[in-house]
Amino acid sequence: MRTLLMVLGGVIAATGLLPAADAPVENTTITVEGMHCAGCAKNLSTKLKAVKCVKGAEVDLATKTAKITPADKEKVSPKALWETVVKAGYKPTKLVGPSGTFTETPGA
Ligand SMILES: [Cu+2]
């Protein structure tokens, strides 16, 4: 099963449906546990938008993800985003962005 998934992933990447592995990642996606309703999602979105250099933040309650878009040519601190989620009262479990992938508070 695992091998099949890897093959499928390769086919999808080769057909260009997904960005190639070396394409620059600009957005940051955070997996967030602990949101219960649309109010939670809106609250978190507002707080993430207030972080330095953030242009947009879309929080999806169903998929438990927050997608953060940086302002033009700016780099958003993964640590600042992670801490914003924690301060808002939710639990970040994974952050994927230009600086890498984190499953605990990023160092900078
Ligand atoms: Cu709520």
In a domain, 85, yes or no: yes
**Going by C-beta distance under 8 Å and a sequence separation of 6 or more, which residues neighbour residue 1?**
none
In a domain, 53, yes or no: yes
Q: Please tell me the predicted confidence (pLDDT) of residue 8.
A: 47
DSSP assignment of the chain, as one string?
Answer: -HHHHHHHHHHHHHTTSS--TTSPP-SEEEEEE---SHHHHHHHHHHHHTSTTEEEEEEETTTTEEEEEESTT----HHHHHHHHHHTT-EEEEEEETTEEESS----
Q: Please tell me the predicted confidence (pLDDT) of residue 12.
A: 47
Task: Report the number of distinct structural domains present in the chain.
Answer: 1
Q: How far is the CA of 46 from the centre of ligand 1 (A)?
A: 14
Residue 43 φ then ψ, to 5°: -60, -45
Q: How far is the CA of 33 from the centre of ligand 1 (A)?
A: 12
The CATH number assigned to the domain holding 55 equals: 3.30.70.100
- pLDDT means over runs of 10, the chain (108 residues): 53 51 78 98 98 98 98 94 98 96 91
Q: Please tell me the predicted confidence (pLDDT) of residue 107.
A: 87
Which among 27, 37, 28, 29 has a CA at the least distance from the CA of 89? 37
Q: How far is the CA of 81 from the centre of ligand 1 (A)?
A: 19
Q: How far is the CA of 12 from the centre of ligand 1 (A)?
A: 36
Q: Please tell me the predicted confidence (pLDDT) of residue 22.
A: 56
In a domain, 4, yes or no: no
Q: How far is the CA of 59 from the centre of ligand 1 (A)?
A: 12
In a domain, 65, yes or no: yes
Q: How far is the CA of 35 from the centre of ligand 1 (A)?
A: 6
pLDDT tens-digit map of 64-87: 999 999 999 899 999 999 999 999
In a domain, 78, yes or no: yes
In a domain, 87, yes or no: yes
Domain that holds residue 92: 24-102
Q: How far is the CA of 21 from the centre of ligand 1 (A)?
A: 35
Q: How far is the CA of 73 from the centre of ligand 1 (A)?
A: 33
| HEC string for 41-59 | HHHHHHHHHCCCCEEEEEE
In a domain, 49, yes or no: yes
